Structure 1
Amino acid sequence: MSTEQLPFPSGPVTAQRLTTDLRALGIRPGSTLMVHTSLKSLGWVVGGAQAVLEALRAAVGDEGTLVMPTQSWQLCDPAVLKEAPEQWWPVIRENLPLYDPAVTPTQTMGAVAELFRTLPGSHRSSHPQRSITAAGPHAVRITSRHPLDAPAGEHSPLGALVELDAQVLLLGVTAAKATILHLAEHRADYPGKRTTPSGVAMLVDGRREWVPFEELDVHDDDFVDVVDAFAADTGLVRVGPVGEATAMLLPARALVDYAAQWFSNHR
């Protein structure tokens, strides 16, 4: 039996190094910054997710606002997830936990986002499946509205981010993770655009009920393509190293404006 010795990274990645890299990428104090990150991609981070959050906070400063998606897919309608046999769906709907912003964990959002939602001073939006968490001066404005049937629409946290001229940071993840592009899908007009049925367990007049709703059928299959086109056509995308990862910094407003037209022309 033999084992392969995997190479070590170039060295331990500290919070200070991450902050320096983030500043070099173009993040400035006072920024409103939506972050999508893979902790593993950053290398051997001293202190893990806590250190990453310290670096992000230092990069935007006390006057800046950090934002992360904190979605909880486990509360979705089983008919949407299709992870269980159809005959189980009624039992699942009757027994899914109610959404609690302080308790409900994220799913597939990563260790940094999961820690971020629990920090004192973080504000989490009310959508039981597609929540957004923010911390900083604009946190309440970003998270105060989150319509059940339009979780990525104009009156969602994504709309507030565009109004605030936020930046989007892809930290070791691809453009397929750029949640802000779902707002561009809402704005675009393309063949096959449709809504899809969904549902969630909620309290209605103090009683637990299953609440059905319709939402836009969104997908990220062409998100990498639209970001590549945006970068080539505008020159507004900054790419550079952060720790051991490749990071991408994008302006939210310009990206959404561009992507809405691109989806209309290419979908």
Structure 2
Amino acid sequence: MTEAAAIARSGGPVTQARLTVDFRRLGLEPGMTVLVHTSMSRIGWVCGGARSVIEALFQAVGPEGTIVMPAQSSELSDPSGWCEPPVPQSWWDTIRASMPAFDPRLTPTRGIGAVAEVFRTWPGTRRSLHPQVSFSAHGPLAADILSSQPLEDPFGAISPLAVLNRTGAHVLMIGTGWDTCTALHLAERLADPQGSTFEDGTALFVDGERRWVRFRMPQTDVDRFPVLGARLDGHPMLRHGHVGAAPARLFPVDQAVSLAVQSWGQPALTP
């Protein structure tokens, strides 16, 4: 959505003060740990843009709270698997030989919105070390949440999502659909720990040198998330509201993951 379209659909400027009120009405409280997914265009015209959204989140959870966001960099993958858009096969070897190695400070996010990218560069924000599906976090629990994210099992029992699951964290979805709900990837891994994988690759620093590293990643299936989400939307543990003009949801990670694991045919597990 263009800025002109955001202005046209807004009843007025969405200020940081209004965002803070909306977050509190939805249920954000001081000391909470929150995994946030945001579509800026759905909120309306925000005075101050992504910065105002982030500062309102900090104000809502206070200095004792921790904010977490995806920091995905999907372009750091093997070009043979690219489809949005694909590149000619004749380019693949050149891309593998010249792709910059992942650097948590320099590698930008891709396809997850302006708020997540601004948050990644916010003073004091930390980032996990997975080259494709990292998370960023700011607050007293950030180091613990981001401490481990295995290359070949980034969403499993030893991952930032697993820490969020066992520490009472919540998910906040601002104008985004269930297909963006990263926490459900943990449920996939718990429901089927030996699930299918695919071969991938990326550029990493190994012993101080850039190398092209091949590895296997778990296969994910976001197409089933909206079906589960329709059930979760009617569950009493989930709170609905609005942030600006955007429909929003707030719910606990552990309950959503437990229900998802049960729905996908396995007993609920605790990582």
TM-score, scaled relative to structure 2: 0.91
* RMSD of Structure 2 on Structure 1 (CA): 1.7
Determine if contact 2:51/2:115 at 8 Å carries over to the other structure: yes
Amino acid at match of 1:212: R
Distance 1:203 1:25 in 2: 42
Query: Which residue pairs with 1:103 in the alignment?
Result: 106
CA contact (8 A) 2:155 2:189 kept: yes
- Which SS does the other structure have where 2:52 is aligned? helix
Q: Which amino acid aligns with 1:214?
A: R
The answer for the alignment partner of 2:17 in structure 1 is: 16
State whether residues 102 and 205 of structure 2, in contact with CA within 8 Å, keep that contact through their aligned partners in structure 1. Answer: no
* 2:212 matches 1:205: no
Q: Which amino acid aligns with 1:221?
A: D
2:129 to 120, 126, 131: 126
Counterpart in the other structure of 2:71: 70
Counterpart for residue 269 of structure 2? none
Aligned length: 259
2:39 aligned partner = 38
CA contact 2:44–2:245 (8 Å) conserved in 1: yes
**Counterparts of 2:100 and 2:177 in 1: how far apart (Å)?**
31
Letter of the 1:65 partner, please give it.
T
Structure 1 partner of 2:153? 150
Flag structure 2 segments of 5+ consecutive residues without an equivalent.
Answer: 267-271
Specify the alignment match of 1:87 in structure 2: 90
Q: Distance in 1 between matches of 2:36 and 2:24?
A: 14
Aligned counterpart, 1:242:
243
Aligned with 2:143: secondary structure?
A: helix
Shift of 1:195: 0.8
Distance 1:8 1:126 in 2: 39
For structure 1, the residue ranges without an aligned partner over 5 or more in a row are none
C-alpha distance after superposition, 1:200-243 (max 9, x if no partner) = 111222332211111110021011111221333x4111111111
- Among 140, 143, 163, the alignment partner of 1:137 is 140
Q: Distance in 2 between matches of 1:264 and 1:91?
A: 43
Q: Deviations over 1:61-97 (max 9, x none)?
A: 1100000001011111112224212232111111111
Given that 1:126 and 1:146 are in contact with CA atoms closer than 8 Å, whether structure 2 keeps it comes out as yes
2:168 aligns with one of 161, 165, 170: 165
Q: Which runs of 4+ in 1 moved over 3 A?
A: 5-8
The alignment-based identity, stated in percent, is: 46
Deviations 1:106-156 (A, max 9, x none): 001111110000011100000011110000000000111111001111111
Closer, same or farther in 2 for the Cα pair 1:125/1:178, shift >3 Å? same
- Contact (CA 8 Å) 2:189, 2:195: kept in 1 or not? no
CA–CA distance in structure 1, aligned partners of residues 9 and 221 of structure 2: 36
Q: Structure 1 residue 115 and structure 2 residue 118: aligned?
A: yes
Q: In 2 relative to 1, CA 114–7 (structure 1 residues): closer, same or farther, beyond 3 Å?
A: closer
Which shifted more, 7-16 or 128-137? 7-16
Rounded to whole Å, the distance in 2 between the matches of 1:7 and 1:72 is 32
Deviation for aligned residue 1:7: 4.0
Say if 2:14 and 2:46, in contact at 8 Å, map to a contact too: yes
Alignment partner of 1:227 out of 229, 241, 256: 229
Give, in angstroms, the shift of residue 252 of structure 1: 0.3
Matched with 1:189 is: 192
After TM superposition, the structure 1 stretch with the greater mean CA deviation from structure 2, 116-125 or 220-229, is: 220-229
Separation in structure 2 between the aligned mates of residue 145 and residue 108 of structure 1, nearest angstrom: 23
Aligned-pair distance for 1:8?
4.6
